Chains A and B, each alone.
Chain A
Amino acid sequence: MIKDIFVWLNDQLLKMTWLENAVNWFFRDVIQLDVDSLLYKGITFFFYDVIKIFILLSVLIFLASYVQSFFSPERTRKILSKVKGVWANIIGALLGTVTPFCSCSSIPIFIGFTKAGLPIGVTFSFLISSPLVDLASVILLASIFNWQIALAYVVVGLIIAVIGGSLISLFKMERYVEEFVLARSDEQVIDVNAVEEFTMTRKERVNYSVEQVKEIIKKVWIYVLLGVGIGAFIHGFIPQVWIESILGANNPFSVIIATLVGIPMYADIFGTLPIAEALVLKGVGIGTVLAFMMAVTALSLPSIIMIKKVVKTKLLVMFVGIVTIGIIIVGYLFNAFGSLFM
Chain B
Amino acid sequence: MEIKVLGSGCANCKKLLEYVQVAVKELAVDASVLYVTDYIEIVKTGIMRTPGLMIDGKIVSYGRVPNSDEVKTFIQNAK
Contact = CB atoms under 8 A, between A and B. Distances in A.
B49 A195 contact: no
A109 interface: yes
Contacts of B45: 194-195
A35 B44 CA distance: 62
For chain A, give the interface size range: 20 to 34
A190 B42 contact: no
B39 A111 contact: yes
Interface string A153-187: 00000000000000000000000000010000000
A112 B63 contact: no
For the residues of B in contact with A, the DSSP-based class is loop
Interface in A264-283: none
A115 B49 contact: no
Contact of B44 (A74, A107, A115, A196): A115
A72 B44 contact: no
Contacts of A192: 46
A75 B67 CA distance: 24
Contacts, number: 48
Nearest to A310: B39
B78 to A, nearest CB: 14
A74 B42 CA distance: 13
Nearest to A200: B64
B59 A108 contact: no
Closest A-B pairs by Cβ, 4 of them:
A194-B46, A195-B46, A112-B48, A73-B48
Interface of A: 72-74, 77, 104-105, 107-109, 111-112, 115, 180, 190-192, 194-196, 198, 208
Interface of B: 8, 10, 39-40, 42-50, 59, 61-64
Given A108-B8, A108-B42, A194-B45, 13 more contacts: A73-B48, A74-B48, A74-B49, A77-B48, A108-B43, A108-B47, A108-B48, A109-B48, A111-B39, A111-B43, A112-B48, A180-B40, A195-B59
